[in-house]
C-alpha cells in the first residue's frame, strides 16, 4: 500500500467535494504562537507542495493564522489550485496586535473575515467555511450561534461560500445550526486522550457529516503515553502515526488535518494511513483516555 491511499476517500454530505481522509492543517506554517512569518518560509512552501504532490486534497486554514500569512503562503505555494483541492477555512476570531485570540462574530466581522480569506487565498468562493465559536479556551460553551450561522448562510446564498461547517461547538449548537442550513463538517478538539465528543462523532457519522478533530496529535501539548509508545513499538511505527491511525479506525467520518512545519513529519503522518490496528491494539489504545480522565480526577 502506498502513501497515496491516505486513509481512503470521503465525500462531504450533499456536496461534490471528495477528499482523502488524511489531509493537512496549515496552522503550524505561521511563526511562533501562530503569529507572523515562519522562520523558514521556503520550508513552509515545501511542506504544502509535498503534501499536495503526495495526494493531499484537503487543507484546513484560517486567515487569523499569522494573521493573513498562512493563507498567503498557501496561495504562494499552490495557486492556481488543483481542481480537486478542497480548502476549508474558519471565521469567528481576530488577532489584535497583542497576539491574543478575540471573538469576531458580528455580521460585519464575519463578512470582513470572509473577504480577507478570499483575497489572501485568491479565490472567488471558499469550498467550506466553518463558523468557529470561541467558547472557552479550547472547548465549546453553550449559547446560541444562530446569528452567526445565518450570516454564513447569507454569504453562501451570495455564492461566496460553497458549504458550511462548524468548529468548537456543542451537540445543541450543531442541532441549532442544522435548523438554519446544511452542515457538512464539525471541527472540534479530539484525540486519543481527549474524547469528550465520542457521542457526537457517532451521531454525525449516522448523518454522513465529517468530524475533523483539531489537535489530533495533542496540539500544543503533544500526546505522550507509555501505552501509545508500546503499541507503536510493536508495530514498528511512531506514536504519532498510531495516534492518527487510531482516529482513522475510530469512525469512518473522521478526517485528519495534522499540522506540521516539517516535510519529514508530513510524510510520517501521511504514512499513518497504511497502519492496521488489531482489535487488541485498539482495546489498549481505547484505555488511554480512561486513564487520562482518572489522572485528572
Ligand atoms: N478549529 C480550531 O479551533 C482549531 C484549533 C487548532 C487547530 N486547528 C486546525 O487543526 C490543525 C491540527 O492541529 P495542530 O496543528 O494545532 O495540532 P496537532 O496536529 O495535534 O499537532 C501539531 C504539533 O505536532 C507536531 N507534529 C506533527 N507531526 C508530527 C510528527 N509526525 N512527529 C512529531 N511531532 C509532530 C508539530 O510540530 P512540527 O511542526 O515540528 O512537526 C506541532 O507541534 C491545525 O493545523 C489547524 O489547521 C483548528
Please write the tens of the pLDDT for every residue from 228-276: 999 999 999 999 999 999 999 999 999 999 999 999 999 999 999 999 9
37-54 as b/e, with b when 16 or more CB fall inside 10 Å? ebeeeeebbbbbebbbeb
pLDDT value of residue 137? 67
**Ligand 1 pocket: which of 3, 22, 26, 28 to mutate (most atoms <8 Å of CB)?**
28
Mean pLDDT of 38-67: 98
Residue 63 CB less than 6 A away from ligand 1: no
Q: What percent of the chain has pLDDT over 70?
A: 96
211 labelled catalytic: no
- Whether the ω angle into residue 67 lies within 30 degrees of 0, i.e. cis, is yes
Distance 129 CA to ligand 1 centre (A): 19
Q: For 157-185, how does the pLDDT look when each residue is reduced to its tens digit (9 = 90+)? A: 999 999 999 999 999 999 999 999 999 99
Q: pTM for this structure?
A: 0.97
Query: Which residue puts its alpha carbon closest to atom 26 of ligand 1?
Result: 260
Rg (CA), the chain: 18
In this prediction, residue 2 has a pLDDT band, given cuts at 50, 70 and 90, of very low
Mean pLDDT of 84-100: 97
Domains of the chain: 15-189 (3.20.20.100)
Say which DSSP state 98 is in: T
Residues in the chain: 297
Residue 111, class by beta-carbon neighbours within 10 Å (0-12 exposed, 13-18 middle, 19+ buried)? middle
Angle at the Cα of 123 from the Cα atoms of 112 and 140, rounded to 5 degrees: 50
The grid cell for 213 is 478533530
Cα(265) to centroid(ligand 1), Å: 10
- Report in angstroms the alpha-carbon separations of 288 from 112, 181, 242, 251: 42, 36, 13, 17
Q: Is the CB of 216 under 6 A from ligand 1?
A: yes
> pLDDT > 90: what percent of the chain?
93
Pocket test for ligand 1, best of 22, 59, 217, 221 (most atoms within 8 A of CB): 217
Helical (H) or strand (E) element with 209: none
Ligand 1 centre to CA of 205 (Å) is 24
Q: Whose CA is nearest to atom 42 of ligand 1?
A: 260
Of 65, 81, 131, 190, which one is the catalytic site residue? 65
For the cut 50, the answer to whether the pLDDT of residue 1 exceeds it is no
pLDDT higher than 90, residue 291 = no
pLDDT over 60 (residue 197): yes
User: Given pLDDT bands bounded at 50, 70 and 90, which one contains residue 220?
Assistant: confident
CA distances from 250 to 203, 207, 211, 254, 285 (A): 13, 16, 11, 8, 11
Statement: residue 3 has pLDDT above 70: no
Q: How far is 231 from 251, CA to CA, in rounded Å?
A: 20
Is the C-beta atom of 250 inside 6 A of ligand 1? no
Q: pLDDT of 115-138, one tens digit each?
A: 999 999 999 999 999 999 998 866
Question: Using CA atoms, how far apart are residues 39 and 155, in angstroms rounded to an integer?
Answer: 35
For range 27-47, the mean pLDDT: 97
Residues 40, 46: contact at Cβ < 8 Å? no
DSSP β-bridge partners for residue 11: 18
Beta carbons within 10 angstroms of residue 55's beta carbon: 16
CA 239 to chain centre: 20
Amino acid at each position: 500500500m502506498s502513501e497515496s491511499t491516505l486513509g481512503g476517500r470521503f465525500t462531504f454530505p450533499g456536496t461534490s467535494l471528495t477528499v482523502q481522509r488524511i489531509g493537512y492543517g496549515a496552522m503550524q506554517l505561521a511563526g511562533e504562537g501562530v503569529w507572523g512569518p515562519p522562520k523558514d518560509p521556503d520550508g513552509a512552501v515545501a511542506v504544502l507542495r509535498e503534501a499536495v504532490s503526495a495526494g493531499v486534497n484537503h487543507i484546513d486554514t484560517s486567515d487569523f493564522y499569522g494573521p493573513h500569512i498562512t493563507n498567503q503562503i498557501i496561495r504562494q505555494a499552490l495557486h492556481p489550485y488543483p481542481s480537486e483541492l478542497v480548502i476549508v477555512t474558519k471565521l469567528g476570531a481576530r488577532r489584535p496586535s497583542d497576539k491574543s485570540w478575540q471573538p469576531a462574530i458580528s455580521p460585519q466581522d464575519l463578512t470582513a473575515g470572509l473577504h480577507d480569506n478570499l483575497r489572501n487565498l485568491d479565490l472567488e468562493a471558499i469550498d467550506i467555511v466553518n463558523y468557529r465559536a470561541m467558547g472557552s479556551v479550547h472547548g465549546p460553551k453553550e449559547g446560541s450561534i444562530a446569528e452567526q450561522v445565518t450570516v454564513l448562510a447569507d454569504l453562501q446564498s451570495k455564492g461566496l461560500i460553497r458549504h458550511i461547517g462548524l468548529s468548537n461547538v456543542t451537540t445543541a449548537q450543531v442541532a441549532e445550526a442544522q435548523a438554519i442550513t446544511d452542515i457538512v463538517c464539525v471541527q472540534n478538539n479530539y484525540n486519543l486522550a481527549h474524547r469528550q465528543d465520542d457521542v457526537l462523532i457517532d451521531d454525525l457519522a449516522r448523518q454522513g457529516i465529517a468530524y475533523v478533530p483539531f489537535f489530533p496529535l495533542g496540539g500544543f501539548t503533544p500526546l505522550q503515553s507509555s501505552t501509545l509508545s508500546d503499541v507503536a513499538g510493536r508495530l514498528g511505527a511512531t506514536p504519532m502515526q498510531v495516534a492518527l491511525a487510531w482516529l482513522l479506525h475510530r469512525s469512518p467520518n473522521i478526517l485528519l488535518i495534522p499540522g506540521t512545519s516539517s516535510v519529514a513529519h508530513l510524510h510520517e503522518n501521511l504514512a499513518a494511513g497504511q497502519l492496521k490496528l488489531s482489535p487488541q491494539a485498539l482495546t489498549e489504545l481505547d484505555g488511554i483516555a480512561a486513564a487520562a480522565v482518572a489522572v485528572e480526577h
